[in-house]
Structure 1
């Protein structure tokens, strides 16, 4: 069972997310916090697997709370769920250690999927957010050495997996799109990371751009 802490100063949002989580068989709500300071206290006490973190809250905001939470409990995964997904909030939140970033206009299914992906070690992003993260990272990492480095050999299936990773699809979605099992997808992603020396899916997405597999 995945335990979730909801941190949001709006009671209606907390109630909606709680109802959503409790409609599943594998996710339970450990607690609710109305601000960052309370989120930190409850995380220390309840030790949730995932914190769904709003950023704009009174007192300690979500960015500071994320930083403090991961300092005292690194095993907890923080996924930002916020109304505002502009760069002024996105990059500080990721720098603070958030593993994912969702705008509140995503579907309920996307929120549940993000929780599950976070626990599995993935980084769930809204598609618009992922495009901005990858575009910025691609620019930062597009060095002369990168351009000169010979690309590893990919099988056709690996190239397709790489392209879908760049689109922001989860392992489950990639499996459905390619009609293969999730274990097979995980194997392909792991092989891609090993072949390319990529530490995460964002770096794989950047590589897909550099290889011309998707539009920047």
Structure 2
């Protein structure tokens, strides 16, 4: 069955030519609809409140309220809006910081325009794999923090054994299709397990699921 759901997109970039380039790049896809453009973080917050897009493409470097701070503020108000950070830098520190603020993805502007669409579709469907570099970055950050006290101890693990097996494979960077092949179950079943996992934990993003599991000691480094 073909997915005909329209993804409503808000573009946020302080440069007019950059917004125009993004708009032209995505306008050829019938399942993407540009519903607004913002040239600042403040305007992005206003439009997020007004039109509640499905997806925001957020430039990381903007004067005043930058992309990271804007992402944090929007996610606090609209946790279901998907945000993908746009940048010219490949610095993994920026990626990790963006994800900490609630972003679901990270797109390098100089990437081949033809690669934008499949990547954004993967983010929207939450089937973008978690990279090993990102997991290592998480482990380094978590290990540098003071240990939790007994009163702040890790929460009990509510997941079944099968759900933990799926979560561990997600943390290793496997896609739903790869998890299906490894576990000898259908891709539909994998999606159902992930749906149950996200419902139990109240976390929708694969990266944030991985971080949650690492922080609480459910996954061994």
Q: TM-score w.r.t. structure 2 length?
A: 0.64
- In structure 1, the partner of 2:206 is none
Whole-angstrom distance in 2 between the partners of 1:46 and 1:187: 30
**Residue 183 of structure 1 aligns with which residue?**
188
State the SS of the aligned residue for 1:59.
Answer: coil
- Can you list the C-alpha shifts for 1:176-207, whole angstroms capped at 9, x where unaligned? 7767543211233356678xx75542147638
Q: How far is 1:48 from its partner?
A: 0.8
> 2: CA distance between counterparts of 1:36 and 1:62?
7
Q: Does 1:68 align with 2:73?
A: yes
The DSSP-based 3-state class of the residue aligned with 1:25 is: coil
Counterpart of 2:139 (choices 135, 148, 165) is 135
Structure 1 residues 45 and 205, CA, compared in 2 at 3 Å: closer, same or farther?
A: same
Query: What TM-score comes out, normalization by structure 1 length?
Result: 0.66
8 Å contact from structure 1 (residues 51, 79) kept in 2: yes
Shift of 1:127: 2.6
Counterpart of 1:26?
A: 31
Mark the runs of 5 or more structure 1 residues left unpaired by the alignment. Answer: none
SS at 2:11 equivalent:
strand
Q: Is residue 2:90 matched to residue 1:82?
A: no
| 1:107-186 alignment, distance < 5 Å | 107-108=115-116, 109-117=118-126, 127=131, 130-136=134-140, 139=143, 154=161, 159=165, 161-171=166-176, 174-175=179-180, 180-186=185-191
Distance 1:62 1:50 in 2: 14
| Equivalent runs, 1:99-110 vs 2, <5 Å | 99-104=103-108, 107-108=115-116, 109-110=118-119
- C-alpha distance 169-73 of structure 1, shift in aligned 2 (>3 A): same
71-80 or 30-39, larger mean C-alpha shift: 71-80
- How has the CA–CA distance of structure 1 residues 170 and 11 changed in structure 2, closer, same or farther, with 3 Å as cutoff? farther
CA RMSD of aligned residues (A): 4.2
Equivalent position of 1:48 in the other structure: 53
Identify the structure with the greater helix proportion: 1
May I ask how many residue pairs the two structures share in their alignment? Answer: 201
Q: Name the CA shift for 1:34/1:173 in 2 (closer, same or farther; >3 Å).
A: farther
Judge conservation of contact 1:21–1:112 (CA < 8 Å) in 2: no
Q: Tell whether the 8 Å contact from 1:49 to 1:76 is kept in structure 2 after alignment.
A: yes
